[in-house]
Amino acid sequence: MKTTKEALKDMKQIIDILEDKGEPFDSGCSEDESVTMIERARRKSPQKPIRIVSDWIWWQIEYPLADLSRLAERHLQPVKIRADQILLDETNTYGGEQTLISTHLVDIRYDCVFESEDITYILCGLGTRKNVTPEQLAFFIGLS
């Protein structure tokens, strides 16, 4: 059983991941530019489906060193995108005002083409950047 102090810490993390979207992040493109970005993304990774998202958060995950090493071995970075608005989804998995979380970052190009392990995301509009712990990430994924 958790102590009151531990329970309060857990509650703070829950509130933080749900309410605090982080700091403004100067990235993303306009919806008008998204067509050009799709073309660029297809040239780099033609096999990957594309999702265009807005109302997004760049989650910088604060993994322990051992986890960072394992990610690096797989050529991945400790970053995921959370998006609350899906403008286009070629996989037809999400639509409209639905929250999604990407897999880890493989590469970022043009400040808005976020290539994950399995999908290329086009980040539209203004976004934010936020550091999250693995525990916060696990909690949020459990809610989704």
Mapped onto helix, strand or coil, the DSSP state of residue 94 is coil
Instruction: Give residue limits of the domains in the chain.
Output: 4-143
CA dihedral 99, 135, 15, 103 (to 10 degrees): -20
How confident is the model at residue 21, as a pLDDT?
Answer: 79
State pLDDT tens for residues 27-73.
Answer: 899 989 999 999 999 999 999 999 999 999 999 999 999 999 999 99
State pLDDT tens for residues 93-138.
Answer: 987 778 899 999 999 999 999 999 999 999 999 999 999 999 888 8
